[in-house]
Amino acid sequence: MHFTQLFVGFCSFLAVAASYGKPPPGIIKHDGKPIGKEVVYDGLTLYISQPKWPRQSDTAVLYLTDVFGIPLLQNRLLADSFARAGFLTITPDLFDGVPAPHDITFDAADFLSKHNVNVTDPIIEKTIEYIRTKLGVKRVAVTGYCFGGRYAFRFLAEGRGVDVGFAAHPSLLQDDEVLAIKGPASVAAAEVDSLLVPARRLEIEGLLSQAAQPFQVNLYSGTTHGFGVRANVSDPEQKFGKEEAFWQAVRWFNAW
């Protein structure tokens, strides 16, 4: 009896070790040519990355970008990385071809007012419709970055079509959006982030606890807002943060 228990426990340990072992090389790409393609569905442009091996057949990743959208090379490459990790990955154009410019003087308040929840929610709803009806996917995992991180939480609410979520350095996240989640949520936070300061991060941790869903909050040293997508990968600490945040999402999606 004791031997059987020991043997079963040892096998369980091996299974866990295999799941959390050293990630395979070549999954994450920081440069090069994107491998996905654009399709248009009911007037909405989608960037779609197809996995080559081995596809998680019942799961697709809904990738919600930062304000720089699908034109940003790093967003496309990160979506492609999820595909190489085995997930069919769909990234909607949240900004109708006009993302935020790479200009620190641009009017962020005006941009965000033009892309509020009344504008953005229908885009994501249409994308989920495409994923479930046109692609026949049974399970949707959402990954969101900065602007998209808030919507990762919004669509974890009941009846909104998402099963599990991850957000890196989410911005503008509201208390009620955290409390409303009905699926597991994982967060990757930057050490220095004016849009998610330490006090607010602690508040979100408390709200996640109240939401009574599985949750995870990881803090990455040496990182700043945007590291999940736009880290300076010549800096070892930032490169580690970006890559580990990616694997944090992958492990979360596989676990739940």
Instruction: For residues 29 and 249, give the distance between their C-alpha atoms in angstroms, rounded to a whole number.
Output: 16
In this structure, the chain runs to a length of 256
Residue 90: strand, helix, or coil? strand
Task: Say which residues have a Cβ less than 8 Å from residue 53's Cβ, sequence separation at least 6.
Answer: 86
pLDDT at 16 over 80: no
Mean pLDDT, the chain, rounded, equals 91
Residue 74: strand, helix, or coil? helix
For the record, the structure tokens of 187 come out as 């967060």
* Annotated catalytic residue 176: no
- Out of 15-19, 22-26, 55-59, 76-80, least confident range: 15-19
Residue 164 burial class via C-beta count within 10 angstroms: exposed 0-12, middle 13-18, buried 19 and up: buried
Q: Could you say which of 146, 163, 169, 176 is catalytic?
A: 146
Q: Domains plus CATH for the chain? A: 29-255 (3.40.50.1820)
pLDDT at 128 over 80: yes
* Annotated catalytic residue 225: yes
CA dihedral over 6, 7, 8, 13, signed as positive or negative:
positive
Alpha helices in the chain (DSSP H): 2-19, 73-84, 108-114, 117-129, 147-154, 175-179, 198-211, 227-230, 236-255
Q: Could you say which of 66, 80, 93, 193 is catalytic?
A: 193
What's the pLDDT at 9? Answer: 37
pTM higher than 0.85: yes
Residue 202: strand, helix, or coil? helix
Instruction: For residues 108 and 172, give the distance between their C-alpha atoms in angstroms, rounded to a whole number.
Output: 13
* Annotated catalytic residue 66: no
